[in-house]
Amino acid sequence: MKLIIHGGFFSESSTNSETKVAKQKALERIIKDSYVFLKTHSAVATVVYAVSLLEDDELFNAGIGSQIQSDGKIRMSAAVMDGATQKMSGVINIEEVKNPVQVAQMLMEYDDRVLGGSGATDFAREKGFGVFSTEIPQRRAEYEAKLKSMGTGTVGCVAVDSNGAIAAATSTGGKGFEIPGRISDSATVAGNYANAFCGVSLTGVGEDIVSNATAAKIVTRVTDGFTLQEAFTKAFNELKPYDGFAGAIAIDNQGNMLHQDSHPTMVFASFDGDKFEVFK
């Protein structure tokens, strides 16, 4: 059993040592709690659990910490993929839901597994997800002052459970100040992908990640016989011609865990029951 999570990149808080320490502590708490959960749950349930904890922490740009778009509203996206069944489900631009990843998980049981906008929000309400204001004062202050962030905030988790099943989940509050209706990578196979061989979750600039189809490329190459490191190296080299901004976490079916970013600094943590690692 292994687990790796990410909390996006540093943006407005990159020089704030107090924030850095707080994020390190939060990631350590979340990954260790999630590993305990993994001991008695599937990979799919665990990635949703871990991402929900990240959504519940305003330090990260997802759930209650989400960025505000150019029209003053918060819209979020999230996805879950089960490597064993090859089912992916997601929500795009959902509003006033505390845990979009949980709505995404619920959609795995439906034929229509990716919903957007008001359809996603209406589905959440029908399934008992009440209205929840995700706005926090810090995000409103940033919006009012037009302090645009780097647009690199997303959270994610990849897990392998005791049966060797792999799953990935990703959630984002957007890049901030975007045009309403903009689609991020998080609820696409470019940003979140898993099969029986590998699982990957991305963070960074969504447009760069989609242009490179990064998560799907990495997983496909591992499936075709690349080592995880080889697949990462090739995919990240393909970002270089346009200076693509991305960070990725992954676990393969051999138990190898890997994280890499094209620009500093992706926030991540990993744990395998013995060894714990967090970003420095």
Q: Which active-site residues does the annotation give?
A: 154
Residue 247 bridge partners (DSSP): 203, 261
